[in-house]
Chain A
């Protein structure tokens, strides 16, 4: 009957917040890998060689049709057996999240590239711009504006899924929370506080995504055909 005693958690808040640093580190590392993977795979998907397209397509299908946790356990326990190279929990987490979200980003990039408005590019060429200039100054900025909200919302998902890496003992926020709950025997307060910390970190990101989304819509409206 004695719960909601947050004063029991307060002295340990620093311990919890120490986990946030690792959460952020692994998220940033993973998203960097994801963007790189996404770009490469998207390009491969647009290749003129059929088997390259198929292989890249298979990559995307596999990483999108299996659960992240299954992927994580495979990367951490199974892959080292194949390669003979043991992985730290941080690297395993980064690789898993990076390859997983890389697959999603590859689809977003591919759709974004395919949807580029050609009228704009033609107008730019008519003005006498070279191809690289057209790409750099007209096409890519617009493509990026349109894709940015989706990419950002993928980052939020990645950030939340970083909690899964606690299951192979990466000492990020969720791991610290479980540790602390065990130590203080105050699951209610600890996990509620942890949830609040995640909310505090994620909510501003969702506001940003909404703003990016509105900007993207405005940009598209400006170029809409009458």
Chain B
């Protein structure tokens, strides 16, 4: 018995899906921004050599790296209102959880990049009489950042896909929309196929870009 594909259902609902895509992109961009800033702070705390800074940073990073994203999202969403009294919308809870998650992985990328800059560079800069902060800003970070671009780009692509997990708390991104439409129209095959195609179309070119960044960096080294 052949199945009747109803692509018109998919096409009719595409606009709603794409609206979700808009939210997906917004969440990705915002979470990435948080990750870039907080990740650097965490990396610097761990590299500072002061236990009072390094230890909390280490614990935060390891917590977010060893627990599933789903757990982090639900934890932030349900725990924040009860403990800190801060009731955030699903969007902002999701953003906080995603942002911290990305920050944890970013901090590892920063750490690897910074420590890959030769110690002699730091010594040479210190010998000129630079303060540690000047050494970091003018000598170490500029060199580290170049090496960090490919893994950061890969993180962006992963982050884009991870926004789908926010569907669990009902954030109006693309995955949520897909679930709603699929149950409304009773046509999970067409809708879930369509959303997979949309994710693929957006993600695949970015993945190719990331692969090229990695290849270019290898050639340069």
Q: List chain A positions with a Cβ less than 8 A from chain B.
A: 3-4, 61-62, 64-71, 73-74, 77-78, 81-82, 84, 160-164, 166-167, 174, 177-178, 181, 187-188, 191-192, 194-195, 198-199, 202-203, 206
Contacts and interface: CB of A to CB of B under 8 A. Distances in A.
Given A81-B188, A82-B3, A166-B70, A70 B175 contact: yes
Q: Is the interface of A mostly helix, strand, loop or mixed?
A: helix
Given A65-B207, A67-B175, A203-B62, A81 B189 contact: yes
Q: Is the interface of B mostly helix, strand, loop or mixed?
A: helix
Contacts of B122: none
Interface string B75-105: 1001100110000000000000000000000
Given A167-B168, A188-B83, A199-B63, A74 B161 contact: no
Contacts of A191: 71, 74-75, 78-79
Interface of B: 1, 3, 62-63, 65-72, 74-75, 78-79, 82-83, 161-165, 167-168, 175, 178-179, 182, 188-189, 192-193, 195-196, 199-200, 203-204, 207
A203 B66 contact: yes
A66 B3 contact: no
A61 B207 contact: yes
A61 B200 CA distance: 8
A73 B67 contact: no
23 contacts: A3-B82, A61-B207, A65-B200, A66-B200, A67-B175, A68-B164, A73-B178, A73-B179, A77-B192, A78-B188, A81-B3, A164-B70, A181-B78, A187-B82, A188-B82, A191-B78, A194-B71, A195-B71, A198-B71, A199-B63, A203-B62, A203-B66, A206-B66
